[in-house]
Amino acid sequence: MTVLHTVNKSPFEKDSLDTCIAHALDGSTVLLIEDGVYAATRGTVVEPRVRDAMQRMNFYVLANDCKARGLGEDTLIDGIGRVDYGGFVDLVTGHDSVQSWL
Amino acid sequence: MKIGLLVNEGPYQHQAADTAFQFAQAAIEKGHEVFRVFFYHDGVNNGTRLATPPQDDRHIQRRWTALAEAHGVDLVVCVAAAQRRGICDPDEAKRNGKDADNIAPGFRISGLGQLVEAAIECDRLVTFGD
């Protein structure tokens, strides 16, 4: 069973991402949305944790929320996928269930 | 696919009400059925028809109503959460002795059973909140 995890909080504000990573099984997908997209930026204290999690999970950001925060593609950690709302829908339907970490 | 949404955050609070709407719209555009949007906790504030945001701002409540009218999306507000926050339809207003109601068109007030039903009926249930 594949699970899509969504995280909508900044890792500098809440520990939703850490909680998500601690619970998510290998092969899961993590979609960063809203303030959660800050976790995808390069050069932060969070980056090593995200890179580590990327060894066993797929990471995506909602591109619309990156754009809204001035985070260009060049600011993101390599290997993180970018989706729009349609891509968000595809991720939801492409996994067996969705878990939102708020 | 049949998709259900749970919205736990009020409009103009953070971003969940916006994300949920954009997601619902994208799902419909892709040919999926948005079976129901269940508004819970502060999310019930999405269902008032008395909000007047600035004219150049998005009108979150009216946007939901338009989605319901265009695509038959069932917008359900949790009754207990609604009572706490002063969201009521004509029946609820009468039952609780209020002098007015404020439910927006396209929304209806019901119970948590509607959320459980959405979880059972839908292929996917996606939660948006704070």
Residue B130 host element (H or E): none
Amino acid in the structure at residue B5: L
In the structure encoding, which two tokens stand for residue B129, read together? Answer: 């909140």
* pLDDT recorded at residue A1: 86
Query: What is the pLDDT at residue B41?
Result: 98
- Of all residues in chain B, the one with the smallest CA distance to A9 is B130
Low-confidence ranges of chain A (pLDDT < 70): none
Listed in sequence order, the DSSP H helices in chain A are 16-23, 47-54, 63-68, 85-94
Question: What domains can be seen in chain A, in order of their start residue?
Answer: 3-101 (3.40.1260.10)
| pLDDT at B123 > cutoff 90 | yes
Task: With CB atoms and an 8 Å threshold, state whether A85 touches B26.
Answer: yes
Tell me which residues of B are annotated as active site: 78
Rounded to two decimals, the ipTM of the complex is 0.97
Contact residues for A97 (Cβ-Cβ < 8 A; gap 6+): A1, A3, A4, B124
Interchain contact B127–A (C-beta under 8 A): yes
Asked whether the whole model's pTM tops 0.90, one would answer yes
CB A92 within 8 A of CB B124: yes
Region B115-130: mean pLDDT is 97
B30 vs A89: CB contact, 8 Å cut-off? yes
Q: How confident is the model at residue B112, as a pLDDT?
A: 98
For residue B10, pLDDT over 90 is answered with yes
